[in-house]
Amino acid sequence: MTAAYVFGYGSLVAEGEGCHVATLRGHRRAWGVAMDNRVDEPGYKRYMLRADGSRPAVFVCFVDVVADPGSVVTGVCLLVDAARLAELDDRERNYERVEVTASIDGGRGTVWAYLGSEEGVTRFREGVGAGTAVVSRDYFDAVLDAVGAIAPGEAAALRQSPPVLDLDRVETP
């Protein structure tokens, strides 16, 4: 049976155990998906302002990879089994899992990546258009640190983000 991997290019880069560095050809990182913080989704999350505990009416943004023929994204291939893949499918609700094996340099089996879903991308655009797109400082710092450790030049481009807020993540029941 062929090993299965998920190509991590954002927060998954920090999950170093069982990972190896690889590159995804024909894509670049971008702030490109968002969740609507005004809406509760059972079993998901919401964000509260750290300063006063209030819930801001914002779109919280996350990193995506978008097609760009002349670019590459350095990331990690995280070894997954069926159970871990199901967990990631649930976690990555703003994305769709797509097989990218043919575009991976350094792959060692079947490789999947989570690319922004139509809904996630639409929410991002809505937030940017309304001036309510933000990034959680904890997520921003974690992604910059993790990506910076394996691809410093690529991390620098992520600094051009929507406004960064000090937010606390709260799991919804």
Number of domains in the chain: 1
Rounded distance, CA 74 to CA 33, Å?
A: 19
CB 124 within 8 A of CB 19: no
Q: What pLDDT, on the 0 to 100 scale, is given for residue 97?
A: 98
The answer to whether residue 1 scores a pLDDT higher than 80 is no
Q: What pLDDT, on the 0 to 100 scale, is given for residue 16?
A: 67
Residue 115 sits in which domain range?
Answer: 4-171
pLDDT digits (tens, 9 = 90+) for 48-60: 999 999 999 999 9
CATH assignment of the domain containing 155? 3.10.490.10
Q: What pLDDT, on the 0 to 100 scale, is given for residue 107?
A: 78
Q: What is the mean pLDDT of residues 80-106?
A: 95
- Average pLDDT across the chain, whole number: 94
Please give the share of the chain, as a percent, with pLDDT higher than 90.
Answer: 87
Q: What is the mean pLDDT of residues 15-43?
A: 92
Q: Which helix (DSSP H) or strand (DSSP E) does residue 148 occupy? A: helix 137-150
